Amino acid sequence: MAIQKHKIVPHLWFEDNAEEAVNFYVSIFENSRVTDVSRYGEAGPRPKGSVLAMAFELEGQSFAAINGGPWARFNGAVSFLVHCETQKEIDCYYDKLVEGGQQQPCGWLTDRFGLVWQVNYARLPMMLTDRDAIRANRVMEAMMKMKKIDIARLEEAYEGKTATQSVPRSFRFA
């Protein structure tokens, strides 16, 4: 594999569909590409010519993927956060990534390969850490009611244009 440009690179373990997953991710994000592919040779353990590992970039961030077998599975303890400036961006990334996967609360989703993503509003961290605790709480309450993030509803909550209600304090990933 080629030398990576980042010192730390997320490495994704797939059972046997790394190539399908990498091609899926690269198709979603504009500034993305496969940078290297390693294939099994005569020594195996998979068929000669099948993908062993891939290097790729999503929006300039380097990643690695491997077909490592059934040993490891993705879970919500690690996720990839996609910061979005507009509702159109959120809709585009969320709708493509969740296809064949599962929606989760608060902009989170599990894609069809089991990888967990957060497709979220870029202003959300600022809103949630506002010095005005009542304002920040309104945003949190609004967000807790959402699957896919709705920027207009978050902004309304931030500006105090919506009523607040109690919401569950926890959620879990399937």
Digit-coded pLDDT (tens) for 4-61: 577 899 999 999 999 999 999 999 999 999 999 999 999 878 889 999 999 999 999 9
Q: How far apart are CA 117 and CA 94, in angstroms?
A: 9
Interval 50-89: pLDDT, tens: 999 999 999 999 999 999 988 899 999 999 999 999 999 9
Where do the domains of the chain lie, and which CATH numbers do they carry?
11-67 (3.30.720.100), 80-159 (3.10.180.10)
φ, ψ at 82 (rounded to 5°): -110, 110
pLDDT above 60 (res 147): yes
What's this model's pTM, rounded to 2 decimal places?
0.86
Q: How far apart are CA 27 and CA 91, in angstroms?
A: 16
Sheet of 61-67, strand order: 11-14, 61-67, 51-58, 32-39
Q: Is the dihedral of CA 143, 74, 32, 61 positive or negative?
A: positive
